Amino acid sequence: MTVTAHDPSPTPPNGTPAAPFGYDDLPALTARMTGADKHTPSSDSLTDALWVLYDQVLRVDPARPDAEDRDRFLLSRGHGPMSYYAVLAAKGFIDPGVLDGFGTFDSPLGHHPDRTLVPGVEISSGSLGHGLPLGVGTALGLRARGLHAPRVWVMVGDAELDEGSNHEALEFAGAYGLDSLHLVVVDNASTTWGDSRSRAERIAAAGWSLAEADGRDHADLRRACALPHPGRPHAVVARVEPKHPR
């Protein structure tokens, strides 16, 4: 472990109105979407990390989804986005009514998200391995513009780290000390040819601050996300139940 803890409290979201829905409403919101059954289990693996980020970590405001000083959340693993849409609906970014049309011709909500169609969605994703390089560039761009408050969060799945583009970004961001960049790896042990231990070690070896958390435990996730990491990007490995029980 390469983190030091002295102030575990995240900055509270500013200006975010009271959420119209709570965590307990997510199953009902998710159930309004049908058609991506293939991705349902992996979608569920993200639910708790997504909820904790939107509820307690990200400084985003559904009334100002394009605010310059917002935190940027880039869902890189865009497969199975139902829980993402459910959280966006719960937090007021999208009308829960649009969930019913999920995947249909006239719906903004596809089986992979499109940033040009959905308020609050920072990147269009689906092809794995694009979010972290985009996150690196976003963090660099915010820094170049003198916007030092916004933080960039990228969420990937552990198997997504099989894509080499992530390792280009991990190495660069660690060595560059891109400390506004954050990565959540939702680890359901679905990688092929590799294991999550070696993955975590590689992230730390690239110069990142690294925390591990129970991906179902909201307090633990919040703690791991809030750890200070001066001068370094920060990664949280959120472990959930294996995709293929052994």
Partner 1 sequence: MPAPAAAPSPVEAAPPSAESMRDRFVRVASDLLDSDERTAVVLAVITAAAFEDAARRHPHRVIDVGIREQLLVGAGAGLALAGMRPIVHTFASFLVERPFEQLKLDFQHQGVGGVLVSANASYDWPQGGFTHMSPGDVALLDTLDGWNVHVPGHPEEAEALLRRAVAGEGREYVRLSEQANRAPLPVADGRLLTLREGGPDAPVVIAVGPMLDPTAAAVAELHATLLYAATVRPFDAAGLRAAVGPRATADVVLVEPYLAGTSTARVAEALHDVPHRVLALGVPRAELRRYGTRQEHDRAHGLDAAGLRQRIGAFTPGARG
Q: Which parts of this chain interact with partner 1 (CB under 8 A)?
A: 68, 72, 115-116, 122-124, 127, 129-130, 132-145, 147, 164-165, 168-169, 171-172
Closer of 123 and 185 to partner 1 (Cβ): 123
Closer of 134 and 224 to partner 1 (Cβ): 134
Question: Smallest gap, in angstroms, from Cβ of residue 12 to partner 1?
Answer: 24
98: its two tokens:
């649009």
Measured between its terminal Cα atoms, the distance across the chain in Å is: 26
Question: Smallest gap, in angstroms, from Cβ of residue 123 to partner 1?
Answer: 6
Q: How many beta carbons lie within 10 A of that of residue 78, not counting itself?
A: 25
Closer of 41 and 108 to partner 1 (Cβ): 108
- 3-class SS string, 32-86: CCCCCHHHHHHHHHHHHHHHHHHHHHCCCCCCCCCCCCCCEEEECCCCCCHHHHH
Closer of 112 and 218 to partner 1 (Cβ): 112
Q: How many beta carbons lie within 10 A of that of residue 1, not counting itself?
A: 11
Closer of 133 and 157 to partner 1 (Cβ): 133
Question: Smallest gap, in angstroms, from Cβ of residue 148 to partner 1?
Answer: 11
Q: How many beta carbons lie within 10 A of that of residue 100, not counting itself?
A: 12
Give the residue among 85, 64, 20, 49 at the shortest CA–CA distance from 183.
Answer: 49
Question: Smallest gap, in angstroms, from Cβ of residue 76 to partner 1?
Answer: 11
Question: Smallest gap, in angstroms, from Cβ of residue 28 to partner 1?
Answer: 31
